[in-house]
Amino acid sequence: MDTMRKRLVVIGAGPMGLYAAFAAAQRNLEVTVLERDRIGESLLSWGSTRFFSPLEMNVPAWVRAALPGLPSGDALLTGPEMVERVLLPLSRHPLVNDKIRTRHRVRGIARAGLSREDFPAHPVRHEKAFRILVETREPFPAETAAGGAAPNVMPGGEYLLDADFVFDATGGYRLGNGMGSGGLMAPGESASGPAVIRRLGDMEAALQAMRGGRILLLGHGHSAAHALLALRDASQGNREVSVTWAFRSRNMRPFRETPDDPLPGRAAITAPANALAAAPPAFLDIRRGAALAALEKSGSRLKARFGAGDPVEVDAVFAFTGYRPDLSFLSELALDLAPATQGTRKLHALLSGAADCLSVPAPAAGDLESGEPGFFLLGAKSYGRSNTFLLRDGILQLEMILKHAVG
């Protein structure tokens, strides 16, 4: 093993984690990717939802050059197609195929021997390696261990791994925001069980299985727009589906539309969803400016209460109230996060002036600092709760970090 090679641990094998691993391996860094589930786990949960940005915006030129036979640049792939056509072929590339450990979940990270309080923002923190606590549910494949050395996996499936650099590319599609007012969980929400659905793929599966019934749809972001159109289609099919749709906005057309949208795939969702909002058909009962006040079990159904208006009994809740990043494994790092978004503070300052995700300025190297030298939030995780992230932005971030901070 070359002891001078810098060790990079990438957390998450979504698109950004895999692009990072590939680019770092090309630069001869010693890379290990830790993925808690499967490659492309978040994208696999999109169901039939398509990217609204074309493939050429979503895949860096240096990945496209290495993978012959990719779909054309103007293709709008579904999430699972992106995994099948791009991420899995990339994961099999000889530069990275023995570097990716699926079903290895990161549980904690610290500077070896330094607590979060020791030497804050001091360069001495950079001199200490990162120490990462990993939990695995798979027998450890010794031949894929970083540098060829099998780690000492404890009987419970945990082990430690050291790194000079860490990229946290764990996205932000796992933890849903609360359904109540102000993003709080509504009373009864945590006990409401599997009838609450938060991912588009799960929603499609639930709709397929339903003969009929009433759905409560929450939210007015892009995922809610997708859900609304799927519910319209289900109500037009041979299923008796009716919907109560509650959202915070008081606008007649609550979904944000961009005049002459350069991303036609986005307009193809927001325009018809807004048309339904402005003139609701019989299947759709709309509650504007409404927040869920409580959710309680009522036999096999759920009873949803709102501040005003009658309660409604539903068979399922499709909750698209946004997502927040998982910071649980970062508590021992001294990170400089934006209070509002929980993304990095400097990046948040850059984003807050942008009217649309397409007008986010390119970040400078300093905008990507996390407060902890050598540790970077990469991809959707770097934007925290802000839903304006595009893979195009993540690719720019990655190129900047590799050029200026990792070398």
Ligand X SMILES: Cc1cc2nc3c(=O)[nH]c(=O)nc-3n(C[C@H](O)[C@H](O)[C@H](O)COP(=O)(O)OP(=O)(O)OC[C@H]3O[C@@H](n4cnc5c(N)ncnc54)[C@H](O)[C@@H]3O)c2cc1C
Q: Note the residues at the interface with ligand X (CB under 6 A).
A: 11-17, 34-37, 41-43, 46, 49, 51-53, 58, 105-106, 169-171, 173, 200, 223, 326, 329, 379-380, 389-392, 394
Rounded to the nearest whole angstrom, what is the least distance from the CB of residue 249 to ligand X in the complex?
19
Please, what is the minimum distance in Å from the beta carbon of residue 172 to ligand X? 7
Nearer to ligand X among residue 239 and residue 324 (C-beta)? 324
Complex with ligand X: residue 49 or 274, whichever CB lies closer: 49
Closest approach, Cβ 355 to ligand X, in A, equals 17
Give whichever of 188 and 325 is closer to ligand X, judged by the CB atom: 325
- The least CB distance from residue 79 to ligand X, in Å, is 7
DSSP state of 396: H
CB contact at 8 A, 219 and 320: yes
Please, what's the b/e burial string for 351-372 (b: 16 or more CB within 10 A of its CB; e: otherwise)?
Answer: beeeeebbebeebeeebbbbbb
Closest CA to 96 of 180, 12, 20: 20
Q: How much of the chain is in helix, strand and coil states, percent to nearest 5? A: 35, 25, 45
Dist CA 168 CA 98 (whole Å): 20
Name the minimum Å distance from CB 187 to ligand X. 27
Q: How far apart are CB 296 and ligand X at their closest, in Å?
A: 29
Of 19 and 245, the one with the shorter C-beta distance to ligand X is: 19
Closest to 194 (Cα-Cα) out of 298, 317, 311, 294: 317
- Let me know: does 31 contact 165? Beta carbons within 8 Å: no
Q: Is 106 helix (H, G, I), strand (E, B) or coil?
A: strand
How far, in Å, CA of 12 to CA of 57, rounded?
A: 21
CB of 211 to ligand X, least distance (A): 27
Report in angstroms how near the CB of residue 109 gets to ligand X at its nearest.
Answer: 10
Short-list 10, 5, 1, CA closest to 27: 5
Give burial (CB, 10 Å; 0-12/13-18/19+) of 16. Answer: buried
Q: At its nearest, how many Å lie between ligand X and the CB of residue 106?
A: 4
What are the strands, taking DSSP E only, across 13-94? 30-35
Spell out the residues 6+ positions from residue 45 whose beta carbon is closer than 8 angstroms to its own: 79, 173, 199, 200, 201, 202
Q: Please, which residue, 31 or 304, has the CB nearer to ligand X?
A: 31
Alpha-carbon torsion angle 400, 401, 402, 407, nearest 10: 110
The nearer residue to ligand X, 176 or 394, going by C-beta atoms, is: 394
**Closer by beta carbon to ligand X, 48 or else 236:** 48
* 390 Cβ contact list (under 8 Å, min separation 6): 53, 57, 357, 358, 360
Angle at 356 between CA 354 and CA 357, to 5 degrees: 95
Residue 211 DSSP symbol: S
Sequence-ordered list of residues with C-beta below 8 angstroms from that of 43, at least 6 positions apart, any chain: 14, 15, 79, 80, 82, 83, 87
Identify which of residues 312 and 337 has a Cβ nearer to ligand X in the complex: 337
In angstroms, what is the minimal distance from the CB of 231 to ligand X?
A: 16
Element of type H or E holding 232: helix 222-236
Pick 304 or 351: Cβ nearer ligand X? 351
Q: Which is nearer to ligand X, 141 or 307 (CB)?
A: 141
